[in-house]
């Protein structure tokens, strides 16, 4: 019985291609003498890819070269490891080896080229010589070769440098070779980029000047990863140009250098220059400084953190670095620092399509940008007082932050390791085809994941194959990066103020205050006091707070008012000091924690409600069918409210119960609104429903109490007619309840007695509901009754009929358009509506005189009702294209056409607009403009109340308050200006429609 063959089969070697055996025979390697070579080949990231490339390599090489190569493969493990690793990990570099005879010899030197050697090779490829009369250290040369020939030579020379580095970087995956760590790889790549652009500038000088002397000083400043000497294999190289003078010649030189560099090596990008792509290509040093002092945004200072003189006039470059460097460290003191930083982080995350967020190594959650953002922010915060943090490299900054105790040793080591791991994967992905990519393979693509794992030197573990190990490690590393972000900012703060663990006390109070200020806290000393009080709570509560506070503080810092958010959280904890469920819920349900902090840092209105109705917080969780806040229906709330009130005979106690239900329902609705779980119309309907239920229950309870007190049955039926926004089902948070009280004596009852009784009931209802309390007010407004303030509060149905038929003025008829029975006797309410239908929807429509009167009243309202000092452009109710404009226009259309179109018999403004569009009374685009304006103004008006906690109609100007209102209205904080522009644009268009339709 024969044993296993001494020569491993292609399958044992991991070779899956059907041609593998024939290819090995072609190379002469399928024998006992070549077993070491075969096993080395099997360790390549993709052995099949490497074998195919080796066959092509063999065919392209002449016989003498191949004999030498074959001998080296058999005898020199270093050479073999480099060659096989390149062929198995990089299609592009494999093609380069095959296409360029003799290039393989670049794999022989033991050492990588120094920066000077790389520059010499690049300059030699185009025959460049130093420019005469340059200052010491200057890197200005003039090439002999230009045009397409120069680009071809530069490309080959640069690829040779990349080949040498990649071969040594990858060799350890095949043979036992020294490992090149990320800082070494990034440093060499930055040296190669410097050398490459020095040569490109030499070509540009020849192209632009020919043989003319160079009279312009031009310095090239490396930015971004190149400036930090942590460059990728394939990356844009960001540059800024400084020139003396900044004339046409310097601009032409800069532009030509970028063109040559982009064609030969990599994309050369000057978008980080002042004013970005709209700005001048070259500026003097004085001009740069003037821009940064007056106009630069926070992200531009953050970019300067990595600025480094790269090539050209190095003395001028050094002057630039010396002059701009200090500006970086004062940026954290700017008023807009926090807003800009938060905006930048959100913008970066928004760039990633949803389908790629889990696969994007750079911009996805737990990706490279998370590390870089956290590290740079900590540098900018603490670097004001600590010059040791004035470093460019991310890894170097992590090490300094760790050494100087701004982050714990374990956290620093973990962040360092995670960043190196993610960058290693990024490098391997880019080497595959020398393409600028940050996208991981589809996790379900086993072949691609296996290749990436092997290229990154990830090996199987126990029962896990390499691809599964990679998937596991990726999950762990990205989760750790995301968690470390909150720990880095907040765990040290807790330990600094609570001294929970003296051995890991990272920050002094001043450092902690600086950090809090940079995270958006306007009063960091008070924030520290709150944190100390929370973290120092006795017993189990303090321990749980220490566990959850880092995450909570992270969420609070993302809100418009972190100071208020933290204060509200502390107040809530004080209110719930005996409620064990509260902290347990925040600890165990991250969704609840995030949503609650979002609310507490945005809305004073909701925060106040939650203090008295904390059980609503339990609805912040997600149930089987979605958010629990939306699982509760208004109808269920109404049933519960009525049932609870009926259990109390005392009207005052019953009203107190109604207030409690209403408070909880307001908290639920407002929370769902702020969290984007309910749209505008749903919010308005829910608010109207709960208001109507409170009035209905109060009326029932007062009538029952009156009957019990007198011992006689009620002498009349009563109904409450909702008017205005209540009648239209469109109440906002700051709206009063406009109503009419109507009664109808029962058979045999004296009308005078019935009216007196109904008057007492109505007065009691209004008085009980209007009693001052800590809750949002329950004002029942009867100002729309016949004869206004001079008329009786309650009328009989017959009295209303007589009045409206004989005396109704145009505005009273208009007000009836939104009348809807909302409480009391449903039969009487329906009779009232049938009675007024002939008033509000008269045959033939309203008279021309009535139309003129309505227009006159509207003009008077526009002229007189707008509060003094209000901005008519941004007043949500009475301003241009605001709520009143749209509602008056819709109501005039109803008065004129509802007799012909029954679909217009509606009390809701939005529903009536839809009916107007369906009837074709005005074009659909105009209907859409009016509807958009009404919804936009309503959302803005509701957001004003949510943020400020009281009824407000005027949008503020640019600033912190506008950012909060924009955020409450569903816009990112950094888009407050866009929110205001959108509001102005929408209402301007609506005003055009109002002018045309209302005035027609």
Question: What DSSP string runs through 252-289?
Answer: HHHHHHHHHHHHHTS-EE-TTSTTGGGS-SEE-HHHHH
Tell me whether residue 629 is exposed, middle or buried, using C-beta atoms within 10 angstroms of its C-beta: 0 to 12, 13 to 18, 19 or more: buried
Assign 487 a pLDDT band (cuts: 50, 70, 90). low
Interatomic CA distance for residues 78 and 834, integer angstroms: 97
CB 549 within 8 A of CB 531: yes
| Residues ≥6 apart with Cβ < 8 Å to 517 | 332, 381, 524
Q: Residue 537 carries which DSSP code? A: -
Cβ pair 950, 734 in contact under 8 A: yes
Residue with the two structure tokens 């950090």: 515
Half-sphere CA count of 732, side-chain side, radius 13 A? 24
For residue 519 the two structure tokens come to 């995270």
Answering whether pTM is above 0.75, one says no
- Is 539 in contact with 581 (CB distance < 8 Å)? no
pLDDT(832) > 90: yes
pLDDT value at position 492? 63
CA-to-CA dists, residue 188 to 101, 102, 163, 438, 646, angstroms = 25, 23, 12, 20, 81
SS3 state of residue 716: strand
Q: Is the pLDDT of residue 358 over 80?
A: yes
Distance separating alpha carbons of residues 690 and 695, to the nearest angstrom: 9
3-state class (DSSP) for residue 623:
strand
* CA 757 – CA 6 distance, rounded (Å): 111
Neighbouring residues of 488: CB distance < 8 A, sequence distance ≥ 6 = 374, 378, 407, 411, 415
In eight-state DSSP terms, residue 844 is T
According to DSSP, the β-strands at 716-722 and 737-745 are antiparallel
**Is the model's pLDDT at 872 over the cut of 70?**
yes
3-state SS assignment for residue 740: strand
DSSP H stretches of helix in 437-508? 446-455, 466-498
Q: How big is the CA angle at 30 (ends 28 and 34), to the nearest 5 degrees?
A: 85
Cβ neighbors of 235 (< 8 A, separation 6 or more) are 225, 226, 266, 430, 436
* 520-541 residue pLDDT tens: 788 988 998 898 889 888 888 8
Q: pLDDT at position 504, please?
A: 38
Q: Which of 410, 390, 435, 433 is nearest to 487 (CA)?
A: 410
Residues 890, 896, 899, 900, CA torsion sign: negative
- pLDDT single digits (tens) 61-118: 999 999 999 999 999 999 999 999 999 999 999 999 999 989 999 999 999 999 999 9
Mean pLDDT of 833-852: 92
pLDDT in tens, 123-165: 999 999 999 987 778 999 999 999 999 999 999 999 999 999 9
CA distance 483 to 918: 53
Q: How far is CA 880 from CA 59, 885, 931, in A?
A: 78, 7, 14
pLDDT at 974 over 50: yes
pLDDT per residue over 913-937, tens digit each?
Answer: 999 999 999 999 999 999 999 999 9
Return the structure tokens found at 453: 């794992």
CA distance 689 to 976: 32
In the structure encoding, which two tokens stand for residue 896, read together?
Answer: 């004129």
Which of 188, 280, 256, 271 has the alpha carbon at shortest distance from 226?
Answer: 188
Query: What residues contact 418, with CB distance under 8 A and at least 6 apart?
Result: 371, 477, 478, 480, 481, 484
Strands 737-745 and 780-781: parallel
pLDDT digits (tens, 9 = 90+) for 621-678: 998 888 999 998 888 888 888 888 888 888 888 888 888 889 999 999 999 999 999 9
CA nearest neighbour of 328 among 261, 269, 390: 390
Given a contact cutoff of 8 angstroms between Cβ atoms, the answer to whether 891 and 810 are in contact is: no
Give yes or no for a contact between 194 and 222, defined as CB atoms under 8 angstroms apart: yes
Task: Tell me the average pLDDT across 40-60.
Answer: 96
Task: Say what the alpha-carbon torsion angle 631, 635, 636, 638 is, to the nearest 10 degrees.
Answer: 140
Radius of gyration of the chain (CA): 38
DSSP assignment of 647-713, as one string? T-SSHHHHHHHHHHHHHHHHHHHHHHHHTT-S-HHHHHHHHHHHHHHHHHHHHHHHHHHHHHHHTS-
Residue with tokens 């004002």: 779
Q: What are the residues facing 244 on neighbouring strands? A: 217
For residues 776 and 322, give the distance between their C-alpha atoms in angstroms, rounded to a whole number: 58
- The pLDDT, as a whole number, for residue 508 is 65
Which two tokens mark 575? 């209110």
Kindly state the tokens that stand for 474: 């990726």
Q: Give the alpha-carbon dihedral of 548, 549, 553, 556, to 10 degrees.
A: 60
Phi, psi of 796 (to 5 degrees): -80, 165
Section 859-867 average pLDDT: 86
Q: Residue 218 is encoded by which pair of tokens?
A: 């031009």
Secondary structure (3-state) at 497: helix
Q: How far apart are CA 701 and CA 546, in angstroms?
A: 49
| Degrees to nearest 5, angle at CA 834 with 829 and 837 | 125
Query: Residue 497 pLDDT more than 60?
Result: no
Of 331, 330, 275, 324, nearest to 304 (Cα)?
324
Give the C-alpha distances (Å, rounded to integers) separating 116 from 106, 180, 260, 591, 867.
17, 20, 21, 55, 73
- Rounded to 5 degrees, φ, ψ at 27 are -80, -10
Instruction: Count how many Cα atoms sit within 13 Å of the Cα of residue 708 in the half-sphere of its side chain.
Output: 9
**pLDDT of res. 736:** 85
> Which of 719, 702, 720 is closest to 780 using CA atoms?
720
| Helix-strand-coil split of the chain, %, nearest 5 | 65, 5, 30
Please report the pLDDT score of residue 503 as a whole number. 36
**Cβ–Cβ under 8 Å, residues 742 and 828:** yes
Residue 494's pLDDT band (cuts 50, 70, 90): low
Largest CA distance in the chain: 126
Peptide bond into 245 cis (omega under 30): yes
pLDDT of residue 506: 44
Mean pLDDT of 232-260: 97
User: Whole-angstrom Cα distance, residue 967 to residue 951?
Assistant: 18
Residue with tokens 């600086």: 514
Angle, CA of 412, 399 and 396, to the nearest 5°: 130
| DSSP codes, 39-58 | HHHHTSTTHHHHHHHHHHHH
**What is d(CA 114, CA 488) in angstroms, rounded to the nearest whole number?**
36
The Cα 821–Cα 688 span in angstroms is 12
Query: Per-residue confidence at 502, pLDDT binned at 50, 70, 90?
Result: very low
d(CA 963, CA 952): 16
For the chain, how far is it from start to end, CA to CA, in angstroms? 105
Q: Is 928 exposed, middle or buried (0-12, 13-18, 19+ CB in 10 A)?
A: middle
Under the banding of pLDDT at 50, 70 and 90, the label for residue 501 is: very low
Question: Pairing mode, if any, of strands 622-623 and 626-627?
Answer: antiparallel
């Amino acid at each position: 019985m024969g044993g296993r063959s001494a020569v491993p089969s292609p399958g044992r070697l991991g070779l899956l291609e059907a041609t593998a055996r024939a290819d090995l025979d072609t190379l002469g390697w399928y024998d006992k003498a070549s077993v070491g070579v075969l096993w080395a080949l099997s360790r390549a990231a993709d052995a099949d890819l490497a074998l195919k490339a080796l066959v092509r390599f063999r065919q392209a090489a002449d016989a003498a070269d191949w004999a030498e190569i074959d001998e080296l493969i058999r005898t020199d493990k270093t050479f073999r490891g480099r060659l096989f690793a390149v062929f198995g990990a990089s299609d592009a570099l494999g093609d380069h080896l095959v296409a360029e005879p003799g290039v393989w010899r670049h794999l022989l030197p033991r050492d990588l080229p120094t920066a000077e050697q790389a520059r010499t090779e690049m300059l030699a490829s185009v025959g460049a010589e130093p420019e005469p009369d340059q200052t010491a250290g200057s890197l200005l040369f003039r090439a002999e070769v230009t045009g397409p020939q120069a680009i071809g030579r530069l490309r080959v020379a640069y690829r040779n440098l990349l080949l040498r580095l990649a071969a040594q970087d990858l060799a350890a995956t095949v043979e036992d070779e020294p490992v090149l760590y990320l800082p070494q790889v990034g440093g060499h790549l930055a040296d190669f980029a410097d050398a490459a652009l020095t040569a490109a500038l030499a070509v540009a000088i020849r192209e632009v000047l020919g043989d003319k002397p160079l009279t312009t000083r031009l310095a090239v400043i490396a930015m971004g990863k190149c400036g930090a000497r942590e460059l990728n294999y394939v990356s844009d190289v960001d540059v800024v140009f400084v020139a003396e003078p900044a004339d046409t010649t310097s601009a032409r030189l800069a532009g030509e250098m970028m063109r040559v560099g982009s064609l030969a090596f990599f994309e050369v990008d000057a978008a980080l220059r002042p004013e970005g792509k709209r700005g001048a290509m070259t500026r003097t040093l004085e001009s740069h400084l003037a821009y940064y002092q007056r106009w630069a945004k926070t992200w531009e200072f953050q970019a300067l953190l990595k600025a480094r003189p790269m090539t050209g006039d190095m003395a001028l470059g050094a002057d630039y670095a010396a002059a701009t460097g200090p500006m970086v460290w004062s940026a954290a003191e700017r008023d807009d620092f926090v807003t800009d930083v938060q905006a930048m982080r959100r913008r970066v995350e928004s760039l990633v399509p949803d389908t790629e967020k889990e696969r994007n190594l750079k911009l996805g959650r737990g990706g490279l940008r998370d590390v870089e953002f956290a590290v740079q922010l900590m540098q900018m915060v603490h670097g004001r007082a600590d010059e040791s943090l004035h470093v460019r490299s991310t890894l170097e900054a992590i090490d300094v932050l760790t050494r100087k105790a701004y982050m714990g040793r374990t956290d620093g080591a973990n962040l360092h390791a995670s960043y190196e791991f993610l960058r290693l994967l990024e490098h391997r992905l880019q080497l595959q085809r020398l393409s600028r990519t940050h996208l991981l393979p589809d996790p379900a693509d086993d072949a691609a994941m296996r290749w990436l794992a092997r290229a990154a030197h990830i090996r199987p573990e126990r029962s896990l194959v390499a691809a599964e190990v990679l998937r596991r490690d990726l999950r762990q590393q990205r989760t750790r990066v995301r968690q470390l972000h909150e720990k880095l900012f907040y765990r040290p703060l807790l330990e600094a103020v609570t001294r929970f663990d003296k051995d890991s006390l990272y920050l002094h109070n001043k450092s902690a205050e600086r950090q809090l200020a940079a995270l958006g806290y306007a009063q960091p000393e008070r924030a520290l006091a709150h944190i100390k009080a929370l973290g120092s709570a006795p017993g189990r509560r303090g321990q749980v707070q220490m566990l959850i506070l880092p995450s909570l503080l992270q969420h609070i810092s993302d809100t418009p008012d972190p100071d208020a958010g933290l204060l509200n959280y502390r107040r809530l904890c004080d209110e719930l000091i005996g409620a064990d469920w509260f902290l347990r819920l925040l600890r165990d349900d991250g969704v609840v924690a995030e949503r609650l902090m979002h609310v507490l840092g945005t809305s004073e209105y909701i925060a106040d409600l939650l203090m008295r109705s904390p059980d609503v917080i339990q609805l912040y969780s997600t149930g089987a069918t979605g958010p629990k806040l939306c699982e509760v229906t208004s109808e269920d709330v109404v049933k519960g409210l009525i049932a609870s009130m009926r259990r109390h005979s005392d009207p005052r106690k019953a009203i107190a119960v109604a207030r409690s239900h209403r408070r909880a329902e307001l908290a639920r609705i407002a929370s769902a609104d702020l969290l984007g779980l309910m749209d505008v119309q749903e919010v308005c309907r829910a608010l109207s429903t709960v208001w109507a239920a409170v009035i209905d229950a109060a009326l029932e309870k007062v009538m029952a109490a009156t009957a019990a007190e007198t011992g006689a049955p009620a002498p009349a039926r009563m109904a409450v007619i909702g008017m205005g926004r209540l009648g239209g089902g469109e109440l906002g948070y700051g709206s009063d309840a406009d109503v009419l009280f109507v009664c109808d004596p029962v058979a045999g009852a004296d009308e005078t007695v019935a009216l007196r009784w109904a008057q007492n009931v109505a007065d009691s209802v209004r008085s009980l509901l209007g009693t001052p309390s800590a809750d949002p007010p329950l004002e029942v407004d009867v100002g729309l009754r016949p004869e206004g303030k001079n008329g009786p509060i309650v009328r009989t149905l017959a009295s209303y009929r007589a009045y409206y038929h004989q005396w109704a003025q145009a505005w009273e008829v208009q007000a009836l358009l939104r009348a809807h029975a909302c409480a009391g006797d449903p039969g009487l309410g329906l009779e009232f509506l049938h009675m007024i239908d002939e008033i509000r929807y008269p045959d033939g429509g309203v008279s021309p005189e009535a139309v003129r009167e309505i227009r006159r009243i509207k003009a008077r309202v526009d002229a007189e009702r707008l509060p003094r000092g209000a901005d008519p452009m941004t007043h949500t109710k009475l301003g241009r294209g605001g709520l009143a404009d749209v509602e008056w226009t819709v109501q005039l259309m109803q008065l004129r056409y509802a007799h012909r179109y029954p679909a217009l018999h509606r009390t809701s403004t939005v529903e009536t607009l839809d009916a107007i569009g369906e009837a074709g009374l005005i074009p659909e685009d105009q209907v859409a403009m009016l509807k958009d304006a009404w919804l936009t103004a309503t959302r803005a008006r509701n957001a004003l109340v949510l943020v400020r906690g009281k009824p407000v109609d005027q949008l503020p100007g640019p600033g912190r308050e506008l950012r909060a209102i924009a955020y409450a209205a569903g816009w990112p904080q950094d888009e407050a200006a866009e929110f205001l522009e959108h509001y102005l644009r929408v209402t301007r268009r609506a005003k055009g429609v109002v002018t045309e339709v209302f005035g027609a």
